Amino acid sequence: MNTTVASVKDLQTLIVVGNGMVGHHCVEQLIAAGALEGYRIHVFGEEGQRAYDRVHLSEYFGGRDAESLALSDASLYEQPGLTLHLGVPVLEIDRARREVITAKGAFGFDKLVLATGSYPFVPPIEGAEGHSRLVYRTLDDLDTIRAAAANAKRGVVVGGGLLGLEAANALKSLGLEAHVVEFAPRLMPVQLDDLGGAALKARIEALGVGVHLSRATQSISAGEEMRYRMNFAGDEFLETDLIVFSAGIRPQDALARQCELELGPRGGVAIDEHCRTNDADIFAIGECAAWNGSIFGLVAPGYQMARSVAAQLCDLDAEPFFGADMSTKLKLLGVDVGSIGDAHGALTGARSYRYIDEATSTYRRLVVSADGKQVLGAVLVGDNSYYDTLLQYAQNGIKLPADPSSLILPQSEGAPTLGADALPATATICSCHNVSKASICSAIDGGCTDLAGLKACTKAATGCGGCSALLKSVFEHELIARGVAVDKSLCEHFAFTRQELYAFARVENIESFEQMLALHGKGHVGCDICKPVVGSILASCWNKPIMDPSLVPLQDTNDTFMANMQKNGTYSVVPRIPAGEITPDGLIAIGAVAKKYDLYTKITGGQRIDLFGAQLHELPDIWAELIAAGFETGHAYGKSTRTVKSCVGSTWCRYGVQDSVQMAMTIEDRYKGLRSPHKLKFAVSGCTRECAEAQSKDIGVIATENGWNLYVCGNGGMRPRHAELFATDLDDATLIRYIDRVLMFYIRTADKLQRTSVWRESLEGGLDYLKAVVIDDSLGLAAELEEQMQLVVDRYECEWANALKSPEKLKRFRTFVNDKSADPDIHFVKERSQRRPARANELNLIPVAETVR
Amino acid sequence: MSQANALMNNTAQTHAWRAVCTREDLVLNSGVVALVGTTQVALFCVASTSGASRLFAVDNRDPVSGVNVIGRGLIGSLAGDLVIASPLYKQHYRLEDGTCLEDAALHLRTWPVRTVGDVVEIDVS
């Protein structure tokens, strides 16, 4: 058919050893380059899991599981011609026979790619074994650490580098008192200078992590108060329950040694600029490879090598590898750390500008060339907002401003930014995927008109994500440059976004749709887009009864009739059952109502009971009976607080550590009736076993021994997203305060019909920004948000109870205004002892008196 | 009334006005439903800029779902036309003549409607 496609017997066999981030990236690039037309590919992974995101490993303790850390869908490896062997280490390479030997047998190869990564270096210390000799590298390592942390109080990390601090963060999120022991006189000796290291130390100590510098562990013995005692020089010691070694990595080059490939002077498989070893058919990429004697322990250079090898194997133009920029931007234990280029000012004639703020432990250093024209390097501790601009200066040789110190001095307007237009076309925007400004521009010229599409087609900002903000600014700048106006109008009546209308309502005290339309809109009617949006905004702000005459015409049908319309025009009714706790009498009352009105009854996922099949005119009677039995409306019809799910907690459960039911009731009682851009679901679990599934909710609360951990912005549904750990060990009052602030900030800034999960992903600055706003009150909004929430809480009333008091409001609940009969076209049939809507093909089986038109 | 109609039979148009409800039964800027024989008629009362309100009578049956729900839809204005959005699948129908904005094949029957004193009448001729 196509002459370039090799027939099966012509296929060569390509083996990739290692399924870490770099090995995986290589496979992805190979597939993209069409390698499956020329190769049968076998991938061998030593670990049991498919390639996962090692950069975000510590999130494994923050609630993410192995699958959510995975770098691809399992289906990627299910294509014909590609076989993934997990848990199958390669034991030997037989270069003479062109075979790799595994426990599953020998596999022949034509080409071989080594992507075996690295392993943690554990210095030979007497007494280091078992839980005093843990490492932090793989998911299995993390499971071991988790097991060791049970019943432990204190954990020590040996090594104050990047990975050591990540490991300390992991120990901290396991609830341990974490300590870091570093041999060098400062933290992160490779990336930081002395002053930067000191600022980082101060910040980390403020977080409750012990930092011990210039300490060499000489031996480990049994402890007196804890399991182990670490003995340092000079009779100093530190007791601990577990020890994690993170004292650097070593290239995993055992296979290369065994098959006698050439090695680098300090280990690693020696490669040339084409990532080729001294055996022309064998390549090495990532942390197992040594180019020019150096190992590159970051993901971006590994990806660069992977791309180069994939291109060569597919006979495409390959970019040679001539070393990599080791600049890096990190958040360690929540502290911003950045290091660019020649951070130590080691080059001849280099001069430095330094900014030191001892009050907040912030440090910035700018290293410039002798002629003062170019940025050579930089160190940042405490605020990475300066990073992107400095990196662009350094990487693209952009000429420095007359006063270079302005690049690191605090500005009232925040960090100086280099406008997207100032970047040359060759500027690298995304270094993980090597996407230049030029390729972004050509994607836009190729018809890419939204950010999501741009990310999908260029892969920019899909690696570490660090360039997201820059990408967005380049994208918007380029759109504007092309004369494309980004229309953010809500609908033809309002040339504003939901957020802008919300601000108008607040600032101008707008309380009706008519006012909003007259002041900021067009026409005098509105439409089915803007009316519910404005209705929801007014309810979020002022919480007036939605059945007020001026508000009724704004609501969607479900809000208007305070019930959920089903496919046959009948409604379902959901009484509120706070926290899912219900008395036998309550159950009987609901059962009696369901029986009397012949309602189909089903338990919902939110621990409530849904009653289906009520006609419009039956709703007031049904609710009168439910309210008489002590129930309130469950707002199942609204874009509003739905349920707070809970487990039984410490009251009954032998594992529970807090009263989750009481907390769930407190939360449900507080936020019931809160209208928001989309529905809100909550859950409270009484212990870390998480039976209430709080991590799949907009607001999730999980009990700890010391209080509550708060998770935010999760959801189930079409695109599930785990909630993220937001704050830990909160007392009751702080928990409620934070929830108040998060929700009101969401209501204030979210787009219409935007769930908290999507909102959170669209927040520039992400979770850290949200934490800054809510926890640190960086915008000075906290008190205002709380007040606004309190107003909504104070004005709560059950909408159904309110409606039942007013004959005028009840007028609407008539199927026909001139006739008491029910809708003759609604038909039910029985199924599993309950009734359900009849299907079209069942209608002629029903004896009916009236004609169906 | 029937006599009057009989007399007008030879003129261009024949009307058969039929009382369906009172003004009291209507809800401003929203809909209600009246049963006229076996036909369900959705009545909408839309406030206009002059302060007076306009009445519309359209079929209550949603042609997409075959369910009687149009009277519970949301009134809007799109490109100058007053429309009703079906509450189930959100198609828009012009209140004036019942045409569907999204699908020319869909259509709601409409009736002339007027008020005589307090009584709302539609023309069922």
pLDDT per residue over A643-700, tens digit each?
999 999 999 999 999 999 999 999 999 999 899 999 999 999 999 899 999 999 999 9
Distance from CA of B96 to the nearest CA of A (A): 15
Q: Is the pLDDT of residue B3 over 60?
A: no
* CATH 2.60.120.920 describes domain A122-247: no
- Residue B45 has phi, psi (to 5 degrees) of -120, 110
DSSP bridge partners of A105:
A102
Give residue limits of the domains in chain A.
Answer: 8-119+251-313, 122-247, 325-418, 420-486, 498-542, 639-797
Q: In angstroms, rounded to a whole number, what is the distance separating the alpha carbons of residues A626 and A271?
A: 76
Q: Domains in chain B, ordered, with CATH? A: 2-123 (2.102.10.10)
Any idea which residue has 């011609």 for tokens?
Answer: A81
- Residue A233 has phi, psi (to 5 degrees) of -60, 150
On whether the CB atoms of residues A853 and B61 are closer than 8 A, the answer is: yes
Q: Is the pLDDT of residue A401 over 50?
A: yes
| Residue A617 DSSP one-character state | G
User: What pLDDT does residue A514 have?
Assistant: 86
Distances (CA, A) of A853 to A837, B19, B59, B123: 18, 22, 12, 19
Per-residue three-class SS string for A360-412: CCEEEEEEECCCCCCEEEEEEECCHHHHHHHHHHHHHCCCCCCCHHHHCCCCC
The whole-chain average pLDDT of chain A stands at 88
Any idea which residue has 């012009």 for tokens?
Answer: B94
Q: Work out whether strand A99-102 and strand A105-108 pair parallel, antiparallel, or are unpaired.
A: antiparallel
Topology of the domain covering A639-797: Sulfite Reductase Hemoprotein; domain 1 (3.30.413)
Could B77 and A556 be called an inter-chain contact, meaning their C-beta atoms sit closer than 8 Å?
no
Number of alpha carbons in the 13 Å side-chain half-sphere of residue B75: 26
- Residue that wins the pLDDT comparison between A571 and A409: A571
User: What pLDDT does residue A333 have?
Assistant: 83
Question: What's the CA dihedral at B64, B65, B67, B71 to 10 degrees?
Answer: -50
Over residues A712-739, the mean pLDDT reads 91
User: What pLDDT does residue B105 have?
Assistant: 86
Q: In angstroms, rounded to a whole number, what is the distance separating the alpha carbons of residues A473 and A497?
A: 20
- Residue that wins the pLDDT comparison between A280 and A719: A280
**Which residues touch B80 (CB under 8 Å, ≥6 apart)?**
none
Given B34, B48, B90, which is nearest A818 (Cβ)? Answer: B34
Name the nearest CA neighbour of B36 among A816, A222, A199: A816
**Which residues touch A112 (CB under 8 Å, ≥6 apart)?**
A14, A15, A17, A93, A100, A281, A282, A283
Q: Is the pLDDT of residue A507 over 90?
A: no
pLDDT category of residue B89 using cuts at 50, 70 and 90: confident
Distance from CA of A556 to the nearest CA of B (A): 7
Could B82 and A525 be called an inter-chain contact, meaning their C-beta atoms sit closer than 8 Å?
yes
Q: Is the pLDDT of residue A849 over 80?
A: no
User: What pLDDT does residue A553 have?
Assistant: 67
Over residues A476-491, the mean pLDDT reads 75
Number of alpha carbons in the 13 Å side-chain half-sphere of residue A462: 15
Q: Which tokens in the block code for residue A826?
A: 């609604």
Over residues A86-101, the mean pLDDT reads 95
Identify the weakest region by mean pLDDT among A98-112, A174-188, A206-220, A395-409: A395-409
Q: In angstroms, rounded to a whole number, what is the distance separating the alpha carbons of residues A794 and A564?
A: 26
- Residue that wins the pLDDT comparison between A649 and A395: A649
Q: Which tokens in the block code for residue A255?
A: 């296979």
Q: In angstroms, rounded to a whole number, what is the distance separating the alpha carbons of residues A283 and A697?
A: 46
pLDDT tens for A600-635 read 999 998 999 999 999 999 999 999 999 999 999 999
| Interface size, chain A vs chain B, as Cβ–Cβ contacts under 8 Å | 107
User: What pLDDT does residue A665 have?
Assistant: 96
Q: In what order do the strands lie in the sheet with B53-59?
A: B30-36, B39-47, B53-59, B110-111
Intrachain domains A325-418 and A639-797 with the same fold: no
Given B30, B32, B92, which is nearest A553 (Cβ)? Answer: B30
What's the CATH architecture for A325-418? Answer: 2-Layer Sandwich (3.30)
Topology of the domain covering A8-119+251-313: FAD/NAD(P)-binding domain (3.50.50)
How does DSSP assign B31-86, residue by residue?
EEEEEETTEEEEEEEEE-TTS-EEEEEEESEETTTTEE-GGGSEEEEETTEEEEE-
Over residues A287-310, the mean pLDDT reads 92
User: What pLDDT does residue B11 have?
Assistant: 47
Angle at B111 between CA B106 and CA B116, to 5 degrees: 155
User: What pLDDT does residue A38 have?
Assistant: 93
Q: In angstroms, rounded to a whole number, what is the distance separating the alpha carbons of residues A199 and A652?
A: 48
pLDDT category of residue A58 using cuts at 50, 70 and 90: confident
User: What pLDDT does residue A765 have?
Assistant: 79
User: What pLDDT does residue B70 have?
Assistant: 95
Distances (CA, A) of A304 to A30, A286, A318, A752: 13, 9, 10, 40
pLDDT category of residue A536 using cuts at 50, 70 and 90: confident
Helix, coil or strand: residue A232: strand
Specify the DSSP element, H or E, that contains A167. helix A162-173
- Residue that wins the pLDDT comparison between A70 and A842: A70
Over residues A68-80, the mean pLDDT reads 87
User: What pLDDT does residue B10 have?
Assistant: 43
Question: What's the CA dihedral at A648, A653, A656, A659 to 10 degrees?
Answer: 40
Over residues A117-145, the mean pLDDT reads 91
Helix, coil or strand: residue A338: strand
Given B21, B65, B90, which is nearest A817 (Cβ)? Answer: B21
Over residues A187-216, the mean pLDDT reads 92
Given A524, A815, A825, which is nearest B49 (Cβ)? Answer: A524
| Residue A268 DSSP one-character state | S
Tell me which chain A residue has its CA closest to the CA of residue B91. A528
Question: Which residues numbered 94-123 in B keep a CB inside 8 Å of some CB on A?
Answer: none
Distances (CA, A) of A615 to A693, A775, A831, B69: 34, 47, 19, 11
Q: Is the pLDDT of residue A3 over 70?
A: no
pLDDT tens for A321-331 read 988 888 888 88
Q: What is the CA radius of gyration of chain B?
A: 15
Topology of the domain covering A420-486: Arc Repressor Mutant, subunit A (1.10.10)
Sort out which chain A residues have CB atoms less than 8 A from B39's CB and list them. Answer: 853
Sort out which chain A residues have CB atoms less than 8 A from B47's CB and list them. Answer: 524
Sort out which chain B residues have CB atoms less than 8 A from A552's CB and list them. Answer: 27, 29-30
Query: What percent of chain A stands above pLDDT 70?
Result: 94
Q: In angstroms, rounded to a whole number, what is the distance separating the alpha carbons of residues A822 and A825?
A: 9
Sort out which chain A residues have CB atoms less than 8 A from B83's CB and list them. Answer: 527
On whether the CB atoms of residues A639 and A631 are closer than 8 A, the answer is: no
Could B69 and A524 be called an inter-chain contact, meaning their C-beta atoms sit closer than 8 Å?
no
Distance from CA of A562 to the nearest CA of B (A): 12
Q: Which tokens in the block code for residue A451?
A: 């950010």
Any idea which residue has 């409409």 for tokens?
Answer: B110
Given A524, A552, A569, which is nearest B68 (Cβ)? Answer: A569
pLDDT tens for B18-43 read 999 999 888 888 899 999 988 999 99
Angle at A290 between CA A243 and CA A264, to 5 degrees: 95
Distance from CA of B14 to the nearest CA of A (A): 24
On whether the CB atoms of residues A111 and A221 are closer than 8 A, the answer is: no
DSSP bridge partners of A35:
none
Any idea which residue has 């009739």 for tokens?
Answer: A561
Identify the weakest region by mean pLDDT among A128-137, A572-581, A644-653: A128-137
Helix, coil or strand: residue A749: helix
Could B25 and A816 be called an inter-chain contact, meaning their C-beta atoms sit closer than 8 Å?
no
Given A532, A816, A823, which is nearest B34 (Cβ)? Answer: A816
User: What pLDDT does residue B2 have?
Assistant: 39
Q: In angstroms, rounded to a whole number, what is the distance separating the alpha carbons of residues B124 and B113?
A: 9
Could A525 and B85 be called an inter-chain contact, meaning their C-beta atoms sit closer than 8 Å?
no
Q: Is the pLDDT of residue A486 over 70?
A: no
Q: In angstroms, rounded to a whole number, what is the distance separating the alpha carbons of residues B56 and B43?
A: 6
pLDDT tens for A318-367 read 989 988 888 888 888 888 999 998 888 887 888 899 999 988 899 999 99
Q: In angstroms, rounded to a whole number, what is the distance separating the alpha carbons of residues A99 and A442?
A: 43
